[in-house]
Amino acid sequence: LAPSTVTPQGADVVPAAAGADVASEFVCELRERDESMAERPARRSRWRFASLGVAAAAATLLIAGFLRSSAGTSVGNVVDAQAVVFANASTAVVGDRVVAGRLEVESGRFAMEFENGVKFEVSGPASCEIVSGMLVKLDSGQATADVPRWARGFTVETPDVEVIDLGTRFGVATSNACKTDVVVFEGLVDLKSLRSTKRPFQRRLTQGEAARIDRDGDVQRIFQVHGESVGNNWSTADLPNQRAIITAVWDNMYSTKNISYYQVLTGGFGEDAPAYVDHPHQWNGATGAGLPKPLLGGDYVRTINDFRYSGEQVIHVEIARDSTLYILFDNRTPAPDWLKEQFASTSLQVGLDEDAWFGNPTFSVDVGPGVSIDNVFTVWSRPCSAGDVMTLGSMGVGSEARAMYGIFSDLGAIHFVADSLERFDPKTGAGEVRWNRYVRQPSLSFNKLDAPLSRAPSTEFPGTEYDRDPALPFEVTFVSDRAVRLRFAARAAELGPGDSLMLDGAPPRSDAWTVEEDKDSVTYKGPHGALRISRKPFRLTLLDAEGRTLTETRALGEPASYSAPPALSFIRRERDLSRCFALATSLTHDEGIYGCGESFTRLNKRGQRVVEYVRDAMGAQSPRMYKPIPFYLSSGGYGVFVHTSTPTTFDFGRDFDATNVAYVGDETLDVFLFIGEPKEIVQEYTAITGRSPRPPLWSFGLWMSRITYKSEAEVRDVAQKLREHRIPCDVIHLDTGWFETDWRCDYQFAPSRFDDPAKMISDLRDDGFRVCLWQLPYFTAKNPLFAEAAEAGLFVRNSGGVLPAEDGVLDFSNPEAIEWYESKLKGLLDLGVGAIKVDFGEDAPLQGLYASGRTGWYERNLYPLRYNRLVSDLTQHENDERIIWARSAWAGSQRYPLHWGGDAENTYSAMAATLRAGMSLGLCGFTYWSHDAGGFVERAPRDLYARWLAMATLSSHTRCHGAPPREPWEYDEEFVDLFRKTIEMRYELLPYITTQGAEAASTGAPLVRPLFYEFPTDKTSWLVEDQYLLGKDLLVAPLLEESMSRDVYLPPGGWIDYQTGERYAGGGWRRLSAGEVPIVVLAREGAVIPRVAAALSTAAIDWDKVELVRFGAAGATANTVLPDGGGVSDGQ
């Protein structure tokens, strides 16, 4: 490789000069000895592509080395090089140029992209000649081609056959020896005989087919192909991965016309996994909760969907290791006898997302769990032993309307169940828990197969070094008079300090608890409750001050049931020896569960499975969450915070009604328990994770935006019209269009459309407007900043040192990445920008290896917290204001306000779901929260927009944003008047909103709160999820349908309609009509509401003229917090 005179930063990859044709007939004769093997199924005929000694010797003689030169005509560039070594010991790097000629690859992988867009990858050892961008001669080795449609006709020629592309992705493998393997991953190829062939032939292969072909055109079926779903690292030979579970798959379909293959993917099962080799369908979680955890990361087989038509098919699966084999079977099809006799049905389900095919040409696949699910499959399972060959039957005759079953496997796990408390010191709270070893064993009864836990022997060696039933560290500490911390270790190492980014400093220690001890238990008593630790069986019981059990951990077999509910336990996965916990606790029959982050599902999570895993929710109509928080509170008088950043799943009585299970992906189970009513629980939780500081006053005004303002003229026009129409507004937000290329975030105003950004921002500030700018921490390869950040090593990488995602994702655990990113944002803040929109951040690579030294398993959920903190701290430093506009979050993000509810659909259903999500998030300590009035995805329908705007007005913050138009004058004049009145009502209430916000933030309370937050003893208040309280004194009931009235529940006490002055007695339901602003708002009787005359911006409000308005009878008092830190009290 030498520096190129054409491309200074690159080099020319110049193959060695072509030698004489050394194809030898005697080599073919040597391979004839393998003919008999090739006629048998693939599991018996594992044909190896190994370099023959004679061929290697010839190559050594003919190839003097990999020449260094800058000569030759470039045909493409190197796009990937994985430990590649050429015959002359040279290497290649990304960006090097490729010229026509011969290549000898001794080892590694080498990928090039020709100028016509063909991507061609060679895996060594290999010998090939690059003739042009349309022809490569592969003499030996393995190659993969990805050909765009405009390069149809691209050809790979081997000593046996020409493989002619018809717009596809395919693989070819040969070894100078009369046979070539061809695998089609997508599309079509034609196999055509060489000109020298005595018997000319031509055959077409389509997606899902693989053939072994000789130069006479004889074709043999290849039963299995190992490797990645897209065709990388594939092999038709013995599987090199020694950790594989499924090593061979074959069937009884021996027709010469059938050359479909099974693709075995080691550790490849996850969301959007390709389901079949012959159809582009995908496996996904049947709901937004995602795929069943036992299947994630397991081996699976892409089966042949068209074989569902056969009623006589038999599939054989060879198992290499002790494991569990799973069958996914279409719920539309009655389970056949072979399935019922060999496998046990589980409660787990998986969805199939179908792409377009001739039976349903309008279908399309989507991304993520619970989206676009067309069919649901039940998971069946059975344990298997190493060496087993499982025989599976057909779908049954006449299954045209059904889908072929899936085959999955994963190594079995060892279960360790809490048994007893040992060596415990009540004074220090430190000791050990003995964990008994179990495995799942099949149990047959009355024609059904179950897999209960059974005691298991130790299998480690040497036995002197490992305990069958280990005793591992356990610790209890008391954080306050209402908060207890419990920590369990799944390894013998000592428990560390237990600090993290999620905590707002080290939790304090409380001395308010006393301890009592007897032979059966240790009991700690505090002012508000007690914690009892039973020695054997080990059990933790949380009690209130009266001694009533709030909740307790479950021991194995509790309660007695044939359903075998989970116990407090952890498992050790045999695949990677990782540990994860199951915290099983009791639930009462009428207990409600609330919180868990910004969850769009029903407000009461009882009976739900909630996955705490940050992901772009893609709207407000699924269980996915932008802001999952592993915290919840119970109507029974307690709360729980699972202190972890790993994916965590809460099963709130879904699988077993009386048991709540937290499945925690961490190797340390760290749990905080809180005792009290909702206010007290949230106050305790935020005391350890932090509370929201007060955002600047201007942020409480209206934020006007759309997708997207793209020019200075457009921004100035919107500002002018807002003032002309006398609509109060404080912020104008520019979304994805302020760069030269829409969405290409380079932190520069487009010079072609913004003449003077600094002056524009200054002029807007003079008129009472702040500017907010959109950006994100992901960079596509077309972004000019991509190369800069990549060269500096600022992106998340995987264990192989390459990008684990399509885009470059800034690694915010890397101080250098933080410094680089801050420098980009600082330039914007220096221009006078008021706030940065902290968009995305939900999908940091799970398979990434971060600068922190941890993988995405620990860093993905932390990414929003790091992201929020970084931008918030920078804005505080530069502007002396604590403000961001963020979509993603994790526990602790409430310290960096504020957040909004994401990309909701333009429907009343999404409006209701957004409200539920906001209340759920608020219970997790997020005082401030907003949402896009009218929904985001499309143009907001007029009436929906009006009703949603009213709800947004009565939130902590108000933004109009989404698909255009959002400006009221783009509708009609009547709408402009209604819009103005609605926003004026907000500005009049700003003294109340800011005062309630300051009071709420001091205790961690939300501004938007469910009714039960203020009325915890009123049972009906726990059931209402479409009303809320704004602060403590205003009850808000949005209109969630095309009507100007609705049923409203009024909690105990008197209530007065804020708009009409009508008085109502509480403690029941009433049909109430909205006022002039389309929403029902009532003030608590006796409340004192501070108000002020509306102005065009918060800066124009006359704060010396705040008035205190009493609603109803005297009795309440009020204090008002003013912008300058002063206040007005009741009576002034």
DSSP string, 735-749: -TTSSSSTT---S--
What pLDDT sits at residue 806?
85
| Cα(649)–Cα(20) distance, integer angstroms | 63
Q: Which two tokens stand for residue 972?
A: 């009609």
What is the Cα 372 distance to its own chain's centre? 17
| Cα(174)–Cα(416) distance, integer angstroms | 49
* Amino acid at residue number 430: A
* Amino acid at residue number 666: D
The upper half-sphere exposure of residue 59, i.e. CA atoms within 13 Å in the direction of its Cβ, equals: 26
Q: What are the Cα distances from residue 1020, in Å, to 725, 922, 1031?
A: 43, 20, 19
What pLDDT sits at residue 1100?
97
**Active-site pick, 104, 146, 667, 839:** 839
* Amino acid at residue number 582: A
Low-confidence ranges of the chain (pLDDT < 50): 1-70, 240, 399, 401, 1129-1132
Place of tokens 């109803």: 1112
What pLDDT sits at residue 348?
84
| H-run or E-run covering 975 | helix 973-988
What pLDDT sits at residue 345?
86
Range list for CATH 2.60.120.1440 in the chain:
12-238
What pLDDT sits at residue 107?
87
| Cα(1071)–Cα(570) distance, integer angstroms | 52
What pLDDT sits at residue 397?
58
Cis peptide bond prior to 708, omega within 30° of 0: yes
Closest CA to 487 of 501, 498, 471, 479: 498
**Crossing angle between the packed helical segments 942-953 and 973-988, to the nearest 10 degrees:** 10
- pTM, two decimals, is 0.77
Q: What are the Cα distances from residue 126, in Å, to 110, 121, 138, 164?
A: 10, 11, 8, 20
| Cα(534)–Cα(236) distance, integer angstroms | 57
**Active-site pick, 251, 666, 667, 842:** 842
Q: Judge whether 416 and 376 are in contact, CB under 8 Å.
A: no
Q: Which CATH class is domain 12-238?
A: mainly beta
| Cα(907)–Cα(1093) distance, integer angstroms | 33
Three-class DSSP category at 843: coil
What pLDDT sits at residue 722?
98
What pLDDT sits at residue 229?
52
| H-run or E-run covering 873 | helix 863-879
| Cα(549)–Cα(1018) distance, integer angstroms | 21
| Cα(916)–Cα(933) distance, integer angstroms | 15
What is the number of residues in the chain? 1132
What pLDDT sits at residue 553?
98
What DSSP line would sit under 814-832, residue for residue?
SHHHHHHHHHHHHHHHHTT
| Cα(955)–Cα(993) distance, integer angstroms | 8
What lies within 8 Å, CB to CB, of 944 at 6+ separation is: 906, 907, 908, 911, 934, 935
What pLDDT sits at residue 254?
67
Q: What are the Cα distances from residue 811, in Å, to 628, 736, 778, 797?
A: 21, 22, 10, 9
839 labelled catalytic: yes
Buried b (16+ CB within 10 A) or exposed e, 809-827: bbbbbbeebbebbbeebee
Phi, psi dihedral angles at 59 (to 5 degrees)? -60, -40
Place of tokens 């726990």: 1022
* Amino acid at residue number 717: D
Closest CA to 140 of 248, 232, 54: 54
What lies within 8 Å, CB to CB, of 310 at 6+ separation is: 253, 394, 395
| Cα(412)–Cα(326) distance, integer angstroms | 12
Q: Which two tokens stand for residue 460?
A: 């480690």
**SS3 sequence, 1023-1041?**
HCCCCEEECCCEEEECCCC
Q: What's 685's DSSP letter?
A: H
What pLDDT sits at residue 882?
97
Closest CA to 989 of 1027, 949, 1034: 1034
| Cα(146)–Cα(112) distance, integer angstroms | 11
* Amino acid at residue number 690: G
32 labelled catalytic: no
**Active-site pick, 903, 988, 1033, 1085:** 903
| Cα(1004)–Cα(891) distance, integer angstroms | 13
Q: What's 464's DSSP letter?
A: G
With 0-12 CB in 10 A as exposed, 13-18 as middle and 19+ as buried, what is 326?
buried
Q: Judge whether 658 and 579 are in contact, CB under 8 Å.
A: no
Q: Which two tokens stand for residue 921?
A: 């998030």
Place of tokens 């985001």: 936
842 labelled catalytic: yes
With 0-12 CB in 10 A as exposed, 13-18 as middle and 19+ as buried, what is 287?
buried
Strands (E), 208-314: 210-214, 219-221, 224-226, 246-251, 262-265, 273-274, 282-285, 299-302
Buried b (16+ CB within 10 A) or exposed e, 541-561: bbbbeeeeebbbbbbbebeee
| Cα(332)–Cα(254) distance, integer angstroms | 28
Looking at the DSSP assignment, which residues form a beta bridge with residue 932? 959
* Amino acid at residue number 884: I
